[in-house]
Structure formats: structure tokens, C-alpha cells
Amino acid sequence: MKPLSSLHHLIQALRRLPGVGPKSAQRIAYHMLQHDREGAVQLSSALSEAVATVRHCSRCNTFTESDVCETCRDEERDASLLCVTETPADQMMIEQTLTFKGYYFVLMGNLSPLNGIGPKEICFEKLIARATDGIVKEVILATSFNNEGEATAHYISEMLKARGLYVTRLARGVPVGAELEYVDIGTIARAFLDRRTT
């Protein structure tokens, strides 16, 4: 019993999704064909539409459908502040806090030498060009606080400080609402070192 070619192609294509293995790919394919053909058609056209229209903002590197994204076109923002994030999702989280009114630069990844991702794979040249436009005064590094994110922040920080920019990093410490008993000791140690007068 040979598998059907179109079903086989679908299963192979689904396996390219991150986090989808052979069993899940098969389960998803059967589910879509048996119970949600409308959803399959919808996903098919959404994929080709997104591939055709989504590109990178020429200023901040995030996903956009025009040359410059909506955030970069917003002239009410403080042009002296530039926040560097790893992904558009991180950028959206920061926007939701309503505490930052500057512009962004989205790296679309982080340095990960083990996975072959060096400075060239991430748009560092574009970031330097953007940060040294003469208007930006402070660059706020909002990359993740895991190993790759910290390494990326360190690398960017060194590069931009050498070019005379004021570089800051989001505060590390105990999360809001946390009970000390359940916070990891690394975080508590950091919060001790970075303690502030009240």
C-alpha cells in the first residue's frame, strides 16, 4: 500500500512547520482533509498571500507590507530613543505596556554561534546605520534574558558604545507578583546586586 502522492506531499510540507514531527504532520493532514477542508483552503491562500506581500521595513527591519512600517511612519514618537528587540512579537509586547514611545529595531533573531547564526545573519549593519543617524541618543536593548539574548545584547552594546551611543538594557529583577520562595536564585542574586533606594 503506497501512500497517495498528494497526501504524501502535504505531510512532507507540514513537517517543515517548526515543532511538527512525522506523526503530527500525518494527524494534521488527516484532520484537515476529513474535518476542515475550508480551513485548508484558507491556510493555503493565507500562506501564499503572506509570502507575496510581507517584507522587511527598510528602517526597523520588522515585517511590513509597505516600504516603511506603520510604527516607523508614526511621527509622534521620540526619535532619540531606539529599542532593539529580537522579534515582532517582543516588540508587540513592549507596545502593550504603553511605557515606551520611541522607535524600534527588530533583529529578527539573535546571535547563536552553535546554530551558525553570527553577526552577518542578523542585520547588524542595518542596526548600526539606523542607530547612528545622528538623532538617536539612547539605544535600549530588549533582547531575551537567556544566553543567546544576553550575548546578542553584549555584542550590540560594545559596537554601539564604540560609536558614542548611550546604551541601556531592560532591568533584571524579581517579576511583578512573584513570591520570593518560588523565584530562582539567579534572579534573586541579580535583584540584590541591582537593588534600588525606595
Interacting residues with a second copy (CB under 8 A): 1-7, 9-10, 12-14, 16-19, 24, 26-34, 36-37, 39-51, 53-54, 63-65, 70-71, 87-89, 91-92, 95, 108-109
Residues 165 and 138 sit within 8 Å (Cβ to Cβ): yes
Residue 176, helix vs strand vs coil: coil
Least Cβ distance, residue 63 to a second copy (angstroms): 6
Q: How far is the CB of 148 from a second copy (least distance, A)?
A: 15
Sequence-ordered alpha helix ranges (H) in 61-184:
70-73, 88-97, 124-131, 147-161
- Compare residues 29 and 165 and give the one whose CB is closer to a second copy: 29
In the bound state with a second copy, the residue whose beta carbon lies nearer, of 117 and 159, is: 117
Min separation Cβ 132 and a second copy, Å = 25
CB of 152 to a second copy, least distance (A): 16
Q: Which residues, 6+ apart, have CB-to-CB distance to 127 below 8 Å?
A: 61, 84, 105, 107, 156
What are 81's strand-pairing partners? 138
Cα dihedral value 181, 182, 187, 192, nearest 10: -20
Written as one letter, the residue type at 74 is D
Q: Which is nearer to a second copy, 93 or 129 (CB)?
A: 93
Nearer to a second copy, 34 or 198 (CB): 34
